[in-house]
Chain A
Amino acid sequence: MLLDIKNIKKTLKNNHVLKGIDLSIEKGEVVAIIGPSGSGKTTLLRNINFLETADSGMMKFRDQQIDMAKPSKEKILWTRRHMAMVFQNYNLFKNKTALENISEGLIFGQNMEKKTAESLAEAALNQVGLIDKKDFYPSQLSGGQQQRIGIARATVLNPDIVLFDEPTSALDPELVGTVLRDMKQLAEKGQTMIVVTHQMSFARNVADRVIFFADGEIIEQGNAEEVFDHPQNDRTRKFLSAIAEDY
C-alpha cells in the first residue's frame, strides 16, 4: 500500500465537507474520483498534500505515519516532496518561463544543481512536445500548453503520487484532448495518480478504479465497468444519468 488514509474529517463553517473517508492507493494505480461539484473532491486532494488541514484523520504514506490534523512542518514538506499536484487553473508561475516553471521545483524543492535541473526540464518539455516554447512566459501560451507544462512540472519531480484537481475543467473543449493524452501516457508508464475529474471518458478508459463521491462521502467504488455500467447506488445512477450526454 503506497497511501492509506483513515477516517479523514473536515468541517468548514458547520458544513461537513469530508465525513470520515478511508482511501487506499496501491503503487501504480490510477484512481478517478467523480461526483457532483461541491461534494468535497477537491478538498480531499488538498488535505492529502496539506494545502488544507483536516480536523482529524491518519495517513500512512510510504513508511511515514502522519496525523492529518496535526502534521509537523517536516512531515508536510516531506509529503509534498514525494507528491505532486496539477491544478485546475494551471497555477504556472507567471514570472517564470516554461523551462523555469519546470526546473524551479527541482532546484528549490529537491536541491538539485541548476544545470542538471535544466536538462531534466528540457527533457520533460521535449516529451510533451513543447521544447520550442521553453523561453515563453505563461501569458504567451494557450491554456492547453500551460496545463501540459503544469503536468510536466509535476512529473519531472518523479513523485510517488500525482494529484490532479480537475485538470481539464478550465480548458477550451478542443484543447482537452491534448492534456488527456499526456495524462494517459503517464498512466501507461505506471505513474500512480489520483484524478478528480469531470471527464467521464478518462475515468472510464484510463482509470483502474473509479470512485463516486458525493456529499463528503465515498458512495461507491470499483472498476469502470462496475461503476458506470452497473452502479449499485441510487445516488450514483442519478448522477450518471444527469451527465449521460457527456460520455
Chain B
Amino acid sequence: MRQDKMLRAAGEPFRKLGRFFKTCGTSAKCSAALMGLGQIRNGQVGKGVVLMLAEIAFLAYFVLVGAKDLIGLFTLGLTEGDPILGIAGDNSITMLIRGVLSVIVLLGMAYLYVQNVRDAEKTALRAQAGRPVNGFRQSLRTLLDEKFYFVTLALPVAGVLLFNVLPIVFTVLTAFTDYSSNVAPPRLVSWIGFGNFAELFTKVSYVSTIGKIFYWNVIWAVLSTFFSYFGGLCLALLINKKCVRGKTVWRAFPILAYAVPGFITMIGFRYMFSGMGPINWLLVKLWGEGASVDFLDINSVWAARAVCLLVNTWVTVPASMLLSTSVLSNMNKDMYEAADLDGANGMQQFVYLTLPFVFFATMPILISQFIGNFNNFGISFFLRRGVINAAEYERANSTDLLINWLYNLALGGGSDNYYGIASAVSILIFVITGTFSLIAYVTSPSYKREDTYK
C-alpha cells in the first residue's frame, strides 16, 4: 500500500507533464521538440537561436563527453590500470567526479529546457491576447533590469555548484563505495551500496568504538560548552563588579591567553601533563613516585578527558568573556534598580534578569559553540597526537570525538585509510549536528520571541 503511494508520488511530475502537453499550444510543443523553435515561431528569433545553440552545445558535450561520464558514474571504470605494465586503465575517482559533474550539467539543462517550454507557452498566450511580444533587445533589457538578480546570481550559483555542491556530493557518494588507500586508483573502486554503514553498525570493533566515542562526544559537547560559556560569563560578571579595581588589567590577562594560537597552548599543556612534565614532577616531589598520574597516556580515560576539558576551557573562556562583556554592557540598568526596589537578591537578579537577556542575545552563538565543540578536532589531536590505537578502541582513543575518528580513518594512522567509512561517519556527524542545530535554534528564544528585547 505504502509502496503504491510512493510510486504514485514519484510518477506525479510525469503525469503533470503529460497534462501540460495535452493542453499547451503549438509553440510550446515546438520548443519541446527543439529548444528555441517555439520562440522563433512566436517571432523571438534571437532568443530562439540562443536557445538552439545552447541545446546544440549541450548535445555536443553529451555525445562527446557527458554520456561517457554519466555511464562512468555507474560503472566507476571497467579497466583496471597497471602502471608497472604501462596500462593507464580507468580512474574510478576521476570518473566519479566527472559523473557527478555530468549530472549537474544534465540537471541544469533540464531546468533550461523546462523554462524554454514555459517561456514559449507564455509568449504564445501573450501574443494570442494581443499583447506585444518582446524582441531580442527587449528580452536582453529585461534580463538587465527586471531580472537583473538572475544575471548577478548566475555566476555565483555556478561557482557554488562547482566548488561546494560537487565536493559535497562526491563525499556523500564516497560513503557508498569501497574507496580506501588499499582500493584506490590504479585499482578500481566499486559501489557497495550501504556496505560502509552496515560495517559501521555491525562490525564488533566499530560498533564498540562508535558507541564509546559518541557517548564521550555528547558529554564533551555539553560540558565543554557549559564551562566555556559560563566560565566566560562569570569572569565578565566578576570583572564588571563595581568593587573590582584595575578592570583593564584583569580583562587583558584572558586576552593574552586568547592571543596565543590555540595549538601552541595545547602543545604547552601536553608537555605540562606528560610523564616528564612539571605537574608530575611536582606530584612525585610532594608525595613520592606513587603519586604520579599518567594523564595523557594511551589508555588513560577520565584523567585525559579532564585535561582536555580544562585545556578547552582555558582556550575558549577569553572569547566567551569578551562576548559576555559586550552583551552585559547593553543591559538596561533600570531593570536592576527596579529589581533592587522589589527586594530581589543578587542571585535572583542573575537568574531572572541577566541570564535570560544574555541567553537571548547569545543563543545562536551558543548553538554554534556547541556544534563547534561537538566537532572540536584540535583538542584531542594536539594533546594526544599519535595516540590512536587505545585498548578497546578501533583507531581512536578515549578523548577522540567523531571528527577525530573520521580523521584517523580517512587520513591518520600512517597505514590503511578507509575513505568510504570515513565518509559514512561524516554523514552521521552531519545528521547529528544538523538535527541538533535545527531543533535548538527553532526552539530558542532568539527565534521564537524575536521581539522580546526590541
Are A and B interaction partners? no
- Chain B residues within 8 Å of A, Cβ to Cβ: none
- Chain A residues within 8 Å of B, Cβ to Cβ: none
